Amino acid sequence: MLHRYAVPLAIFGALALAPLLGFGAGHSLSLLARAMILGLGAVGLSVLVGGAGLVSLGHAASFGIGAYAVVMLDAAGQTNAGVVFPVAVLAAAVFALLTGAVAIRTAGVNFIMITLAFGQMAFFTAASLSAYGGDDGYTLYARTRLFGTRLLENRWFFHYLLLALLVLAWVAGRRLLASRFGRVLRAIRENPLRVQALGFSPYPYQLLAYTLAGALGGLAGALLANATEFVAPSFIAWQRSGDLLFMVILGGLGQLHGAVLGALAFVLLEEYLAELTPHWRLIFGPLLVLVALYLKGGLLGLVQRRG
Amino acid sequence: MGEPLLELRGLTKAFGALKVTQDVSLTVLPGEIHAVIGPNGAGKTTLVHQVSGTLGPDAGSIHFAGRDVTRLPLARRARLGLARSFQITAVLPGFSVLENAALAVQARSGSSFRFWRAAATEAALNDTALDALARVGLQDRATTLAGDLSHGERRQLELAIALAMQPRLLLLDEPLAGAGPEETERLVGILAGLKARYGILLVEHDMAAVFALADRISVLVYGQVIATGTPGEIRANAEVRAAYLGEDH
């Protein structure tokens, strides 16, 4: 038996050491930044899917809202992180609250379809924002300022900031799932009728979880806009929501660091396969199918079985 | 005898032309086991759904602890102290036995919108949950996953969950369903021990158990109560014998 913190410590340790061990070049760091940002969103999605049993296919919408908040404020001359990030998080949370209020009244496949529909609604809205580049997207000429400084442009600082946020989100997510609130969420996933018979109404619990995941997605989106210095509607496309869902499943449901592992594996695989051949999707696609079919516990299951 | 804890008045429910509950009136007094028996298709399960709140009646009313709960949903009735067990066992398979019971305690003690402290470390929840487990004889299985329990143990856990809710009335939907002879004996012993502390509305197929446990019995046939009385009266009732019990009883 591995120590229960062995795997998460290894993942976060590797991310902490990577820049010192030959991954300090600009390209490697942006790759890792992308993985950590997607990991941040995937942790939130993992709380929803693995914890609450809410399989959302519209999670990229919260990313998009966070990202567009950054460019809209930038266009309006507001680049102070103390304003930009709270607005991005709040906007994504409000979107999740409003759409979740409708979506959570449904269950199962209907929930998947309705979250997909809301996601597409956000996508087409973004594509029609001609002031922000429409389909072509919008280039951010400078990153958000932290306390009036350009610290976020420093790749090393940005790397460790992302890592700190990722660890924080992981810890908070774990606490949440183990708390009274999380216990009710997990019980709803197992048997909603039983939970009602105990005296709980599932709706407010699920809606709050959905809103919190949306808020975390908004933060990740705002960071993504800063990492790529560019925002486009493709950030919100349903394929991105599918990618996020796949990261969660690839890493392994049930434990939040699975989502981080999944995001890392996904981004690195995508990158290195693309280097190998221009037809990398021909390999990537079937690989995903195989993982879904045969790797029941995801990558975590694989690691822990070995342990 | 005091006020009835539960009172059904003229409860009526139809699915299309099929009247599954027809003008059913009955009461459960505090500390009493009132059993409802009836052949398959008599409408017992529909009655349970209406009392618990998963199904609304077309007509009639349900009063619980002096309050009209006819239109209250399941969760609200549970908070008032009406605990139901399920005919098809509905424990949470991925939760430990203790956590199943602790969740039920949590439902009755303070807000569950708490996000940081690990619920598993709350002694107040665990102590009450362990007490409920002890009363059904499951205290030694506290750390086992509910999904790994035997069928009979799940039935015991189902009871423990209802007890952990600290209810006033237990609505038990076939608590002996699927249990073997030894398990049945143990469960009947547990139910007998609960008598007097709660009002119990017991819907059950097992005649021997019903006649051993119940203070009063109502016989449901085609959605109608054809007789209510003590076990002795029911046994002697000619109409019941004809409709249901058969000559061998």
- For the cut 90, the answer to whether the pLDDT of residue A141 exceeds it is no
A306: pLDDT confidence band, cut at 50, 70 and 90?
Answer: low
φ/ψ of residue A87, rounded to 5:
-65, -45
Whole-angstrom Cα distance, residue B11 to residue A304?
56
Report domain extents, chain B.
Answer: 1-81+167-249, 94-166
pLDDT for A24? 82
pLDDT for A307? 47
Cβ atoms of A156 and A23 closer than 8 Å: no
A281: pLDDT confidence band, cut at 50, 70 and 90?
Answer: confident
Model pLDDT for residues B43-92, shown as the tens digit of each residue = 999 999 999 999 999 999 999 999 999 999 999 999 999 999 887 778 99
Cβ atoms of B199 and B6 closer than 8 Å: yes
Whole-angstrom Cα distance, residue B214 to residue B192?
9
- Total count of residues recorded for chain A: 307
Which residue stretches of chain B have pLDDT < 70? Answer: 1, 244-249
Residues of B in Cβ contact (< 8 Å) with A174: none
Write the DSSP symbol of residue A143: P
| Superfamily of domain covering B1-81+167-249 | P-loop containing nucleotide triphosphate hydrolases (3.40.50.300)
Measured in angstroms, the CA of B111 and the nearest CA of chain A are apart by 8
Whole-angstrom Cα distance, residue A85 to residue A100?
22
Residues of B in Cβ contact (< 8 Å) with A193: 54, 74, 90
Q: Say which residue the tokens 């993982």 belong to.
A: A291
Question: Which of A178, A184, A190 lies nearest to residue B120, judging by beta carbons?
Answer: A178
> Is ipTM beyond 0.85?
yes
CB distance from A173 to chain B under 8 Å? no
Whole-angstrom Cα distance, residue A126 to residue A132?
8
Count CA atoms closer than 13 A to A201's CA, side-chain side.
12
Question: Which is nearest to B171 in space by CA: B105, B85, B72, B79?
Answer: B85
Residues of A in Cβ contact (< 8 Å) with B166: none
What mean pLDDT comes out for the span A244-272?
Answer: 93
Tell me, yes or no, whether A188 lies in a domain. Answer: yes
Please indicate whether, in this complex, the C-beta atoms of B117 and A176 are within 8 angstroms of each other.
Answer: no
Please indicate whether, in this complex, the C-beta atoms of A198 and B120 are within 8 angstroms of each other.
Answer: no
pLDDT for B249? 42
What mean pLDDT comes out for the span A116-139?
Answer: 93
Tell me the residue range of the domain where A124 lies: 6-306
Residues of B in Cβ contact (< 8 Å) with A184: 103, 106, 112
Whole-angstrom Cα distance, residue A198 to residue A201?
9
| Number of domains composing chain A | 1
Q: Which residue of B has its CA nearest to A182?
A: B115
Please indicate whether, in this complex, the C-beta atoms of A178 and B118 are within 8 angstroms of each other.
Answer: yes
Per-residue burial over B26-55, b if 16 or more Cβ lie within 10 Å, else e, is bbbbbebbbbbbbeeebbbbbbbbbbbbbb
Whole-angstrom Cα distance, residue B205 to residue B221?
13
Query: Which helix (H) or strand (E) is B225 found in, with range?
Result: strand B224-229
Q: Which residue of A has its CA nearest to B100?
A: A187
The whole-model pTM stands at: 0.91
DSSP letter string over A49-80? Answer: IIII----S-THHHHHHHHHHHHHHHHTT--B
Model pLDDT for residues A180-189, shown as the tens digit of each residue = 999 999 999 9
Count CB atoms within 10 A of the CB of residue A284: 15
**Two structure tokens written together for A202:** 């599932």
Cβ atoms of B135 and B190 closer than 8 Å: yes
Whole-number mean pLDDT of chain A? 93
Tell me, yes or no, whether A1 lies in a domain. Answer: no
Q: Say which residue the tokens 């941040």 belong to.
A: A40
Q: Say which residue the tokens 């998963």 belong to.
A: B54
Please indicate whether, in this complex, the C-beta atoms of A198 and B161 are within 8 angstroms of each other.
Answer: yes
Alpha helix locations (H) across A76-199? Answer: 81-103, 108-127, 155-178, 180-190, 192-198
Whole-angstrom Cα distance, residue A295 to residue A252?
9
Question: Which of B74, B75, B106 lies nearest to residue A183, judging by beta carbons?
Answer: B106
Tell me, yes or no, whether A138 lies in a domain. Answer: yes
